[in-house]
A = this chain, B = another copy of it.
């Protein structure tokens, strides 16, 4: 049985590595074979929105999924007639449009930021009047890793924000003060069964995830995050892994965005949970029973960004697992990650601190 995946990045690579032991074949669609998943699975090369290539992928696959949150909704819709497509395309469409995403949170009673749609300069001024300052102007579509966002702290930022992003449909939301960020990762099987990983506490710098620690958080916080996850999963009749990122302010969860796929903040589950997010995504979309999402020990995941430290230095540290995505180094590019597992949160944190000090001093400073 072949699983087709649109996008052959590191997420696709780790999906294949998790799915091979279960006995599946993989076929990817991406612009190039020199992609992380292209190293270990066959790949259809070309435009990832090409109806012809998507149809070819669909005809050769028992189920199609995507490792990329900007996979073409218009391209995927027609192939749903040829094969199963999971997660549901509607969830992908919602995740691609920050306005739909906010409205979804609102409709499902999930606390989120105040927001307003912005399609003109006049609407931006009205939005600021309604939502307040400071706030963030964001493009509705296409942003990731902090791109497509402009913070408006005072009137003088308005023109610059508008000049930067106003050519595209936007939304404006209030900039919420927060104490820290968490993400919640859940999975729903094709039979409607659900399972939820422990919460992840995330540290970003420059809009890019640097450090995730798990398990994190009190039982009530986890329960509220999972209730939100469950509402979204059930709303879409979802199949696969889904992530919500939250801000946490004075113990309150404020939903920031969803990702209809495995998530960077869940990479620790490869070694740090009974069943990884990758395996559970594969289990879900192939109709298999979900695996336990329970944590094994205390995990810290550190992204390797821009350059890869020498392999031997990393692997000499006890409990460190390396995941090299085999990408060409480039500033701000996620080239790999390491996961550190320890038997207590304190030991995990001191190990993570020592690693960050060596490989990411900027994050180390925030984390000290």
Chain A residues engaging chain B, CB cutoff 8 angstroms: 13, 16-17, 20-23, 25, 39-41, 274, 283, 287-289, 291-292, 296-297, 308, 311-312, 315-316, 318-319, 321-324, 326, 336, 341
Contact = CB atoms under 8 A, between A and B. Distances in A.
Contacts of A23: 308, 311, 322, 324, 326, 336
Contact of A311 (B20, B25, B288, B322): B288
A83 to B, nearest CB: 20
Given A41-B40, A288-B312, A292-B318, A341 B274 contact: yes
Nearest to A324: B23
A41 B20 CA distance: 12
A324 B22 contact: yes
Contacts of A321: 21
Contacts of A316: 289
A274 B40 CA distance: 24
Contact of A288 (B21, B41, B287, B315): B315
Contacts of A315: 22, 283, 288-289, 291
Contacts of A289: 312, 315-316
A321 B326 CA distance: 27
Contacts of A22: 311, 315, 322, 324
A25 B323 CA distance: 13
A20, A291, A296, A308 interface centre (most CB from chain B within 10 Å)? A20
A316 B283 CA distance: 11
A134 to B, nearest CB: 41
B21 A39 contact: no
Copies of this subunit? 2
A135 B296 CA distance: 47
21 contacts: A13-B20, A17-B21, A21-B321, A21-B323, A22-B311, A22-B324, A23-B308, A23-B322, A23-B324, A23-B336, A25-B39, A40-B40, A40-B41, A274-B341, A283-B315, A287-B312, A288-B311, A288-B315, A289-B316, A292-B318, A296-B296
Q: Which of A13, A23, A296, A318 is most buried by chain B, counting CB atoms within 10 A of its CB?
A: A23
A90 B316 CA distance: 29
A235 B261 CA distance: 51
A116 to B, nearest CB: 44
A273 to B, nearest CB: 11
A244 to B, nearest CB: 26
A289 to B, nearest CB: 4
Contacts of A326: 23
Contacts of A341: 274
A2 B336 CA distance: 19
A208 B16 CA distance: 30
Contacts of A39: 20, 25
A43 to B, nearest CB: 13
Contacts of A319: 274, 292
Contacts of A288: 311-312, 315
A21 B322 contact: yes
Contacts of A291: 315
A308 B23 CA distance: 11
A20 B21 contact: no
A7 to B, nearest CB: 18
A170 to B, nearest CB: 39
A33 to B, nearest CB: 12
A2 to B, nearest CB: 11
Nearest to A275: B321
